[in-house]
């Protein structure tokens, strides 16, 4: 068995506050991580931490880029157990998309239509939750989530274990929870 990580965050940016206003939920962004230390963390978001108007497929780093700029980003990190074969499929699909990242665009229209419960999908365009949903459902061969997806909908997945909740900047420097026991990430 392997694990992947579903990372929910709220940065406090203008856009994330708009999303929070409409969803009435604590977290407004979701990413997928391939390793416990989140060095392999992917989503759709800002391509440049200082430019909120241009988004796309991104490799996120918890201590660089947007998260470094917004140091008070709150987070909830969940582990999801999957088979070795499913992990290889997820990793391979993400790596393939990353190699071709210039062809992927941010689904701005889709993001705003979620607020009125409408779906807008174009090929190679995603907002964060659509991307994570696409990865999971493609690689796990199941329809697991609602068609109109928001970051907090990922909490509906079975077998999700909360391993950390707090400031994202503190992840890796404070205790996390795994199977009801705490340990230090080094």
Q: What confidence tens digit (pLDDT) does each residue in 113-166 have?
A: 998 999 999 999 999 999 999 999 999 988 889 999 999 999 999 889 999 999
Per-residue pLDDT for 178 more than 60?
no
The whole-number pLDDT of residue 177 equals: 64
Range of the domain at 115: 2-184
CATH number of domain containing 53: 3.90.1720
| Residue 124 burial (CB count, 10 A) | 12
Q: How many domains does the chain have?
A: 1
Q: Which of 61-75, 119-133, 172-186 has the lowest mean pLDDT?
A: 172-186
pLDDT in tens, 90-116: 999 999 999 999 999 999 999 999 989
CA 16 to chain CA centroid, Å, is 13
Q: Is 85 exposed, middle or buried (0-12, 13-18, 19+ CB in 10 A)?
A: exposed
Query: Computed from CA positions of residues 42, 113, 54, 101, in that sequence, does the dihedral angle turn out positive or negative?
Result: positive
Per-residue pLDDT for 44 more than 80?
yes
């Amino acid at each position: 068995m392997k694990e992947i990580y579903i990372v929910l965050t709220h940065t406090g940016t203008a856009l994330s506050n708009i999303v929070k206003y409409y969803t009435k939920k604590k977290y407004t962004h979701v990413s997928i991580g391939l390793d416990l230390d989140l060095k392999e963390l992917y989503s759709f978001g800002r391509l440049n931490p200082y430019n909120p108007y241009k988004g796309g497929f991104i490799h996120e780093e918890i201590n660089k880029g947007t998260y470094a700029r917004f140091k008070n980003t709150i987070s909830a990190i969940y582990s999801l157990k999957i088979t070795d074969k499913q992990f290889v499929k997820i990793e391979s699909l993400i790596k393939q998309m990353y190699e071709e990242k210039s062809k992927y665009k941010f689904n701005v229209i889709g993001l705003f239509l979620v607020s009125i419960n409408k779906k807008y999908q174009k090929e190679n365009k995603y907002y964060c939750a659509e991307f994570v949903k696409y990865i999971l459902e493609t690689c796990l061969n199941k329809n697991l989530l609602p068609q109109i997806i928001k970051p907090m909908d990922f909490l509906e997945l079975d077998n999700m274990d909360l391993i950390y909740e707090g400031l994202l900047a503190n992840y890796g420097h404070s205790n996390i929870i795994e199977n009801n026991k705490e340990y230090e990430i080094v």
